[in-house]
Structure formats: C-alpha cells, structure tokens
A and B are shown apart, each in its own frame.
Chain A
Amino acid sequence: EAAVTQSPRSKVAVTGGKVTLSCHQTNNHDYMYWYRQDTGHGLRLIHYSYVADSTEKGDIPDGYKASRPSQENFSLILELASLSQTAVYFCASKDWGNQDTQYFGPGTRLLVL
C-alpha cells in the first residue's frame, strides 16, 4: 500500500506565527492533496498538486499556501496562523492512472493559540 507520511504529527502554534506542515509520499504518485478536518465534519480540500513545482487552489485556500518542490514532497504553509486554523490536516496522494484511490497520511493536529 502507498506510504504517505506527515510531519509533525502535532503542533502548537501562536497566532500570527508561521507554520509549515510537511507531507512525503514514496510511491511516485502524481497527485497530492491537503485537506483540513474540523471536529464533527468531513475533510475539505485546501490545495492540491498534479506535478512538481505547480500547485492548485482547492475549495478553501484562503490563508494557506502550498509548495511542491518535488514529486515526493508537498508542504502546506500558514504564513500568519489564526485561531480559526486549528484543525487536523491530512495529506493524500493518488496515482495519475488510478483516478479514484487516494492514500491518506496519518494527519497533523494543529492547535493555534
């Protein structure tokens, strides 16, 4: 099965600070995604990428940037963290040829104080 890892697994940040969440996949998947999950809700797409050095906006991109420096790595950046960005963040990857099977990382729990 595809391996998707995330770091850190949890983080406490201060309001206005910069936060970088990292995602790494080892299966040469073309697509990578960042989602956030709020308590009691499903996942919502923030940013995604289908090729290195390119990112696309998802459904809720405001307040977030993304970076795809290589096929294996996809980062989510909060330049000025806010209280409303407290959530669990999931990274996922998917192969170009396999349209619908996304493999998810274990999640990063972010608390902004």
Chain B
Amino acid sequence: GQQVQQSPASLVLQEGENAELQCNFSSTATRLQWFYQHPGGRLVSLFYNPSGTKHTGRLTSTTVTNERRSSLHISSSQTTDSGTYFCAITGANTGKLTFGHGTILRVHP
C-alpha cells in the first residue's frame, strides 16, 4: 500500500525561528495534503498541494511530485503554532487518506 514518511518526528523552536517539515511518499500518482492537529485534538486541513508551491500566511508548502516529496515551511514561528503536523496522500476516487506519523512541533516563548 501507499506509504508516507515524515521528518523530523519532533521539533522544538524558540518563538521567531523558522521550521521546515519534510514528507516523503511512495507513489507519484498521489495527491498530497498537509494537516494541523491542535493540542486538543482537532484536525484541520492546511494545504491541498499535489504539486508546486502554495502559501498561506506564514506557511509555505512545496511539493515536488516526481521526487515524491513535500515540505512545509513555517516562518517566524509563534507559540500558537505548537501542535502536530501531518502530511497525507489521497487515493484516487475514494478520497481515502493515508497519513504519515506526524511531526510534533513545540514553540517556546
């Protein structure tokens, strides 16, 4: 089946520092998304980014499909960025998501 690997497993930053999260996936025929899970558990979609670069606020996602990798860049981190970041790939037609194990981010003031 499809596989998704994320790195690092965890990351600790001082507020204001930048972060780079990596995702590698097993197939080029996939559509990639990034999710954020609040410390309380709520899961929200950040990006649907099957290829290229997308920006929203301080977040930038870059996916290089033929190299089967994606990155999530967080600039000028804030304590409210703390939580877990997942990348996931979508199966064709069913919308089934296969998740990576996530990167736990902690931003200290």
Which residue of the partner chain A has the closest CB to B43?
Answer: A104
Interface of B is mostly: strand
State the Cβ distance, B13 to closest chain A Cβ, in Å.
20
Complex Cα gap A99–B98 (Å): 14
- Who on chain B is nearest to A58 by CB? B96
- Residues on the B chain within 8 Å of A107, using CB: 41-43
CB proximity of A21 to chain B, nearest CB, Å? 15
Asked if A99 and B90 make an inter-chain contact with CB atoms under 8 angstroms apart, the answer reads yes
Residue contact B101 to A42, C-beta cutoff 8 Å: yes
Contact present for A42 and B43 (CB under 8 Å): no
What's the dominant secondary structure at chain A's contact region?
strand
Which of B41, B90, B94, B98 interacts with A50 by CB under 8 Å?
A: B94
Known contacts A90-B43, A99-B90, A106-B42: A45-B97 contact under CB 8 Å: yes
Q: How many A-B residue pairs have CB under 8 A?
A: 61
Task: Report Cα–Cα, A70/B94, bound state, in Å.
Answer: 19
A43 sits at the interface (CB 8 A): yes
Q: Cα distance A88–B42 when bound, in Å?
A: 11
Residues of chain B within 8 A (CB-CB) of A58 are: 96
Q: Are A106 and B41 in contact (CB under 8 A)?
A: yes
Q: Residue B45 contacts which of A43, A102, A109 (CB distance < 8 angstroms)?
A: A102
Beta-carbon contact of A42 and B102 below 8 Å: yes
Proximity bits, B36-68, A CB within 8 Å = 1, else 0: 000001111100100000000000000000000
Nearest CB in chain A to that of B1: its residue: A59
A31 lies within 8 A of chain B by Cβ: yes
Across the A-B interface, give the 9 residue pairs with the lowest CB-CB distance, nearest first.
Answer: A42-B99, A104-B43, A107-B41, A43-B99, A100-B48, A94-B95, A42-B101, A42-B86, A100-B90
Chain B residues with a Cβ under 8 A of chain A: 1, 4, 31, 33, 41-45, 48, 86, 88, 90, 94-102
- Excluding A42-B101, A48-B94, A90-B43, 16 further A-B contacts by CB distance (< 8 Å) are A33-B95, A40-B101, A42-B86, A42-B88, A42-B99, A42-B100, A43-B97, A45-B98, A59-B98, A94-B95, A99-B31, A99-B95, A100-B33, A100-B90, A102-B45, A107-B42
